[in-house]
Amino acid sequence: MKKVLVVDDQENIRTVVRLALRDRFEVSEAKDANSALKSINNSLPDAIILDVMMSGSMSGFQLCEHIKQSDRLSGIYVILVTACGQVSDQEQGRALGADAYFVKPFSPAALEKHLHDALLWREA
């Protein structure tokens, strides 16, 4: 079963995403970038669903950039999920290496399908 880390400072968002993914993925959660980094280093996930605007010392954009610039972590599939829906925000996310971008509010079912298809495609 593929491992997915959900990183969001809002517990209700983490819960909704976990419930949408739990049948197909092993889901873990982190409430900020620092706890996400610890989780990533302890159990290398196949994908990360990452909020952009979080409390703490690092934004989701910064964490995405860190992941994609790391030789060890760059293969992790990163989906940014955020209320920042401007085209410029999406362009920034892509420039930092995000593999996909979902704007809140989003469909948990669409997120699950996208993630399943993306990870299945990567195996092929």
Instruction: Report the chain's mean pLDDT, rounded to a whole number.
Output: 94
Of residues 47 and 123, the one with the higher pLDDT is 47
Tell whether the model's pLDDT for residue 123 goes beyond 80. Answer: no
* Domains in the chain: ranges and CATH: 2-123 (3.40.50.2300)
pLDDT of residue 56: 86
- The H or E element that residue 115 is part of is helix 108-123
pLDDT of residue 5: 98
| pLDDT classification of 12: cutoffs 50, 70, 90 | very high
pLDDT of residue 57: 87
pLDDT of residue 124: 59
pLDDT of residue 84: 82
Tell whether the model's pLDDT for residue 64 goes beyond 70. Answer: yes
Task: Note the pLDDT tens digit of each residue in 65-111.
Answer: 999 999 999 999 999 998 888 889 899 999 999 999 999 999 999 99
Distances (CA, A) of 20 to 37, 59, 60, 72, 107: 23, 24, 21, 28, 9
